[in-house]
Amino acid sequence: MEYKKDDLITLVIDDMGIDGEGIGKKDGFAFFVKDSVIGDKIEAKIMKVKKGYAYARLMRIIAPSSERTDPICQFYKQCGGCQIQALNYEKQLAFKMNKVMNNMQRIGGFSQETLEKIMEPVIGMNSLGQTPYHYRNKAQFPIGTDKNGEIIAGFYATRTHVIIPNTDCALGVEENREILETIIKYMKENKISAYDEATGLGLVRHILIRKGFATGELMVCVVINGDRIPFQNQLADVLSKIKGMTSISINMNKKRTNVIMGPECYVIWGKDSITDVINGICFSISPLSFYQINPIQTEKLYNAALEYAGLTGKETVCDLYCGIGTISLFMAQKAKKVYGIEIVAQAVQDAKKNAERNHIENVAFYEGKAEVLLPQLYEEKGLYADVICVDPPRKGCDEECLSTMVKMAPKRIVYVSCDSATLARDVKYLCANGYELKRICPVDMFPQTVHVETVVMMQYCGKGKN
């Protein structure tokens, strides 16, 4: 049968795609339907037809899946940030397990038999009375105006820069709402404009909010299209009254860009950072620092990485893309020496402060690109590492970095990844150049979304092996 745009079809959803969309088949033709879940019987409208598959819009649910649950967020469909909130949590974990497994097979080239032997159950947020909501210690809210010219804060709708007004995200902390409403009120009273991406005019672009879960400390950073914000003392005065407020700063971003933060911040009230504690280690976090957004799961993730490193107190460790030193300081507790490499200057300064604050002396931090500094430390200074730990951005490791890791030939490589596709690609390279994949563990850092963190351990075997 030939299918065309605007056709109405009935489907039973029997699979899910990597972005959380439901997949149903009809006459051997695959249909991808956003907002549907496995087990749903639905009516869908075809939106775009390709060779062998098509995209369709969910029109109505004829019979809901037993795995379906009611999303707690009223903006679930519009926002698109929580792609699988309509799927019960146990099935979310199964989906993420399969996602990692499929990428390791399809991209990494590992057999299902091999993976089933070494892959550990996904670590979820459904233990110890934890709930898979309100886990984000950081949120960045765009500021704009609605069709009536009223100032709004919220999140961008899927694949757009249209702001969905929402000051109370189900994944964020409860203080977000009070902070955002306070800033919007201040803007209205002082006639301060919101930034307009189309014209490049307007002052306030984004509001960054961070919270230390262990300390209760709050940070607010207002991102502006300028150098100063009017009546900043008034803004500081009203925000400082919110319980837990510790740091209020301004970030300057005057470029016509999608990048949220500019390179410079200045404090208008309180400290230049907040603190949080994970596994007994105290961390200083500044507005520009990378810090895992889910502190509850971060402890589980880093404990897994530490276990995989197999440290006895005699090892030298290199921690690449080390951020503010979170993994470095975890490793330093059981290593002889740890060297951390990070490109963000402020993060390196925070890492050094964190080491000092925690009286950890067997660490050294270097500012620069991992793919540049690691070869230099190896070739010019003769640095050898027994264990290399990497926690790169979504794009994965640069090939020069991977090449140097192979030349250094550490006994173990621990790879922490937020993208199992680039992880699979990099693991394939390493396992073709002397390493054997020994352990894999997915960790659900981002409940209600399709994203999953993964930690793997590779062991040196001296020959290519896959």
Catalytic residue (one of 169, 318, 418, 441): 418
Q: Mapped to the 3 state alphabet, what secondary structure does the chain carry?
A: CCCCCCCEEEEEEEEECCCCCEEEEECCEEEEECCCCCCCEEEEEEEEECCCEEEEEEEEEEECCCCECCCCCCCHHHHCCCCCCCECHHHHHHHHHHHHHHHHHHCCCCCHHHHHHHECCCECCCCCCCCCCCCCCEEEEEEEECCCCCEEEEEECCCCCCEEECCCCCCCCCHHHHHHHHHHHHHHHCCCCECECCCCECCEEEEEEEECCCCCCEEEEEEECCCCCCCHHHHHHHHHCCCCEEEEEEEECCCCCCCCCCCEEEEEEECCCEEEEECCEEEEECCCCCCCCCHHHHHHHHHHHHHHHCCCCCCEEEEECCCCCHHHHHHHCCCCEEEEEECCHHHHHHHHHHHHHCCCCCEEEEECCHHHHHHHHHHCCCCCCCEEEECCCCCCCCHHHHHHHHHHCCCEEEEEECCHHHHHHHHHHHHCCCEEEEEEEEECCCCCCCCCEEEEEEEECCCCCC
Is 418 annotated in the active site?
yes
Burial 87-121 (b: 16+ CB within 10 A, else e): bebebbbbbbbebbbbbbeebbebeeeebeebbee
Of 82, 10, 2, nearest to 44 (Cα)?
10
Q: Which residues are catalytic?
A: 418
